Amino acid sequence: MAEANGGRLKDVSFELLRWGKTLSETLEEPLTSVVLGHGVGESETQALIERGADRVLKCDHPALSCASVETQSRALSVMVLQENPSVVLASATTTGRSLLPHLAAKLGTGLTADCTELFIDEKTGDLIQVRPAIGGNIMARIRTPHHRPQMATVRPHSALPLPHNPSRRGEVEVVPFHAEWEDTRVRRIDFTPSSQDEGIRDAEVVIAGGAGMRKGENVSMLRELANLLGGKVGASRTAVDRGWCAYPQQVGLSGKTVTPRHYLAVGISGAIQHLAGMKTSETIAAVNNDPDALIFKVADFGIVGDVFEILPLLIDRLRKESHHAF
């Protein structure tokens, strides 16, 4: 499943193709990317082929672009029954995590949520689905031995997309939308995009600040860093309680769980309630002046030092970096 937003494909679609590609090569089956939506252009579907898909099935209709899980699930179930794939994957986003269970229940097959790794068992040809459970304290290996298709949602940022390969060829098939697929029981009546700092759940990089930031004004340094690294600003509960950041930015037990490619904790002690929301990030770095801060226990990279010394140096250094890049 590719995921589109207003005609543009989201990055997670390409990450998913990397997993799909490895599996399809082992199974010696073609890799099909399914695009349900409205107004997804040719350059977008071409990009799916250049980044791993052998085929693209595209169904384009206004009814597929919003709200109704039922409409998408009907369209998809018809395609799955026709194509008979051995594996169906979607990203573990709010969309994928709503659509796939709906589809799995209709098809009467199993589904594994939020996988971080997928591979084929060479002996049986079964898909092995690996996922963290219980706050990342335990990993589980799951298989779907007797039901097909085998279905999984895959955690965003668990793989890097394959590079563009302009010489790859593949076909794009247009699937006509059937009027009876449309379910009008759920309707979108409004949409408010989140502000720049709020969309931390699917950010690639999260720069989070805590009590160590000392003042609300200093959060601007985090924003600057986030801009330089292409990320969003997150916060500990203390930073939110003090009004320096907004609640949608809170990471942790009573805030959001994030799994970005990189999480930088600045002036955050690493209380267990905070760790609960970020410890399964792919890489973690921390800046804290207390060498015994718990955050260092989960960090891949740590700087023991003063925020107000380190951050200006880092911002300066990254600015130079981005000058080089352009």
Partner 1 sequence: MRIAVTVKQVPETGDVKMDEVTGTLVREGCESIMNPLDLHAVEAALVLTQNHGGEITVISMGPPDAERALREALSMGCHQALLITGRAFAGSDTWATALALSHALRQCGPFDLILCGEKATDGETGQVGPELAALLDVPLVTYVGRIVEVQKGKIIASRYLEDGCEKIEADLPALLTVVRAVNSPRLPTLRGKKAARSAGISHLDESQLGLDPERIGLRGSPTRVEKIYRPQITRTSRIFHATDEKKAQDAVEEYITFLREKGVLR
Instruction: Please report, as residue ranges, which positions from 11 to 70 form the binding site for partner 1 (by CB under 8 A).
Output: 66-70
Cα→Cα distances 55→90, 169, 170, 253, Å: 16, 9, 5, 41
Element (H, E) at 49: helix 42-50
Candidates 237, 245, 264, 299; binder of ligand FAD (CB under 6 A) is 237
If one asks whether residue 202 binds partner 1 (CB under 8 A), the answer comes out as yes
- CB-CB contact of 77 with 106 (8 Å): yes
Interacting residue with partner 1 among 61, 155, 262, 274 (CB under 8 A): 262
- Considering the complex, what minimum distance in angstroms separates the CB of residue 185 from ligand FAD? 35
What are the structure tokens assigned to 133, written together? 């459970």
Q: Shortest CA distance to 35 belongs to which of 43, 26, 44? A: 44
CB of 316 closer than 8 Å to CB of 296? no
Cβ proximity to partner 1, 7 vs 30, nearer residue: 7
Stretch 151-180 residues interacting with partner 1 (CB under 8 A): 160
Contact 269, 211 (CB under 8 A): yes
Q: Which stretch binds ligand FAD (CB under 6 A): 86-94, 98-106, 165-173, 286-294?
A: 286-294
Q: Is residue 305 a contact residue for partner 1 (CB under 8 A)?
A: yes
Q: Which amino acid is at 184?
A: T
84 binds partner 1 (CB under 8 A): no
Output the six-digit token pair for 234: 């997150």
Give the largest Cα separation in the chain, rounded: 63
Burial of 291 (0-12, 13-18, 19+ CB in 10 A): exposed
Question: What sign for the dihedral angle of Cα 29, 30, 33, 36?
Answer: negative
The residue type of 142 is: I
**Out of 169, 187, 215, 323, the residue judged to bind partner 1 by CB under 8 A:** 187
What is the rounded distance in angstroms from the CA atom of residue 85 to the CA atom of residue 290? 53
* Residue 191 vs 243, nearer CB to partner 1: 191
User: Least separation, in Å, of the C-beta of 314 and ligand FAD?
Assistant: 13
Shortest spacing between CB 274 and ligand FAD, in angstroms: 3
- Interface with partner 1 includes 183 (CB under 8 A)? yes
Instruction: Considering only residues 89 through 118, tell me which ones interact with partner 1, judged by CB under 8 A.
Output: 93-95, 97-106, 108-114
- The count of chain residues that interact with partner 1, using the rule CB under 8 A, is 90
By CB under 6 A, name the one of 239, 245, 284, 298 that touches ligand FAD. 239
Binding positions for ligand FAD, rule: CB under 6 A: 210-212, 236-239, 250-255, 267-269, 271, 273-274, 277, 287-290, 293, 306-308
